[in-house]
């Protein structure tokens, strides 16, 4: 069993945005081994950002998701002096890590699935950590 760790930075440009990261993560999976079978774990070490799986083919899906998140967690003044409690809550709801199986050196994502980084308190420079283990 081998374990490899990778990381990369993202520069976000808006308070809230979703950035596809499948291409970068797939590159790490291929670098880990052409025929690797195992698991890829993606972790976001920030309390106002997240990672999740969804589709990016139809941009309306992400716009609708953003609208829905805003409806259940509106931006409003809270106790937090940084005034970003909404970003913390959205991160909790969407999650800071995911795991994806790997077969034959590729992520086992469905036909319409993509990996997405979620920014809820930008613009900022963010880190994405990727662990790949398998054989």
- Could you report the per-residue pLDDT of 80-101, keeping only the tens digit for each? 556 788 999 999 999 999 999 9
Task: Provide the residue range defining the domain that includes 28.
Answer: 2-134
Number of domains in the chain: 1
CA distance 27 to 8: 12
| pLDDT for position 74 | 82
Average pLDDT over residues 121-135: 96
pLDDT at position 79 over 80: no
Residue 17 belongs to domain with CATH number:
2.60.120.460
pLDDT at position 25 over 60: yes
What is the reported pTM? 0.92
Closest CA to 131 of 36, 3, 1: 3
Residues 118 and 49: beta-carbon distance below 8 Å = yes
The b/e string for 80-118 (b: 16+ C-beta within 10 A; e otherwise) is eeeebbbbbbbbeebebebebebeebebebeeeebbbbb
């Amino acid at each position: 069993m081998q374990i490899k760790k990778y990381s990369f930075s993202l520069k976000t440009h808006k308070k809230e945005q979703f950035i596809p990261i499948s291409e970068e993560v797939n590159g790490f999976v291929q670098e880990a081994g052409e025929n690797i079978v195992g698991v890829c774990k993606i972790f976001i070490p920030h309390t106002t950002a997240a990672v999740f799986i969804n589709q990016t083919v139809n941009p309306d899906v992400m716009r609708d998701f953003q609208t829905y998140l805003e409806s259940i967690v509106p931006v409003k003044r809270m106790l937090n002096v940084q005034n970003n409690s909404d970003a913390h809550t959205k991160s909790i709801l969407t999650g800071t890590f995911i795991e994806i199986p790997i077969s034959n050196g590729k992520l086992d994502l469905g036909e319409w699935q993509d990996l997405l980084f979620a920014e809820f308190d930008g613009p900022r420079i963010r880190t994405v950590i990727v662990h790949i283990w398998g054989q």
